[in-house]
């Protein structure tokens, strides 16, 4: 394979790995999987969400912050459920780093009584290649709008692996 082709293939592989990192973050948040969430960030990562800076650095600090904001059933008695749907992911490669701008529509079920909230968000990330793959080194989460879907009935769904009554 010549050098130009190898560089083009490498860039495609990098974009794919970065896109998978963005989705891995969403899955970690939606599943409330702190261990997976930690692996999305570098040890020195900085982050802010809606203008609020995460105290501390790294994936553990981000996971602790998001856990405190979203809460857990043990903390609140009512878990917040979310689904992050990424619409556009723009990746600008810069050697072993890249700028990533991604937009997401986030559906969340929260409150008492539970309501469906929908939010439009842009993430501005700086990602870095590490020995473990691409990781988020800086994340700025910018919410643009939010609305409540009123009169949307919430129907419990039986998990596929649940016993059928």
DSSP 122-144: EEEEEEEEETTEEEEEEEEEEEE
Alpha-carbon distance of 157 to 109, in angstroms, equals: 14
pTM confidence score: 0.86
Note down pLDDT in tens along the chain; length 165 residues.
Answer: 699 999 999 999 999 999 999 999 999 999 989 999 999 999 999 999 999 999 999 999 999 999 887 655 444 445 678 899 999 999 999 999 999 999 999 998 877 777 888 999 999 999 999 999 999 999 999 999 999 887 666 666 666 666 655
Alpha-carbon distance of 58 to 65, in angstroms, equals: 11
Q: 67 with 34: CB under 8 angstroms?
A: yes
Alpha-carbon distance of 118 to 136, in angstroms, equals: 25
Domain ranges of the chain: 3-149
The CATH architecture assigned to 3-149 reads Roll (3.10)
Alpha-carbon distance of 153 to 116, in angstroms, equals: 9
């Amino acid at each position: 394979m010549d050098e130009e082709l190898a560089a083009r293939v490498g860039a495609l592989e990098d974009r794919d790995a970065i896109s998978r990192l963005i989705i891995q973050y969403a899955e970690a948040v939606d599943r409330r999987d702190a261990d997976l969430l930690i692996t999305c960030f570098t040890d020195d990562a900085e982050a802010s969400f809606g203008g609020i800076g995460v105290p501390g650095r790294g994936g553990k600090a981000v996971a602790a912050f998001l856990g405190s904001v979203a809460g857990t059933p043990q903390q609140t008695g009512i878990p917040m459920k979310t689904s992050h749907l990424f619409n556009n992911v723009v990746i600008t490669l810069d050697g072993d780093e890249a700028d990533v701008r991604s937009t997401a529509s986030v559906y969340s079920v929260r409150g008492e009584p539970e309501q469906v909230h929908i939010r439009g968000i842009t993430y501005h990330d700086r990602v870095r290649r590490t020995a473990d793959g691409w990781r988020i080194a800086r994340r700025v989460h910018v919410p643009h709008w939010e609305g409540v879907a009123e009169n949307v009935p919430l129907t419990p769904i039986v998990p596929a692996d649940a016993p059928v009554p």
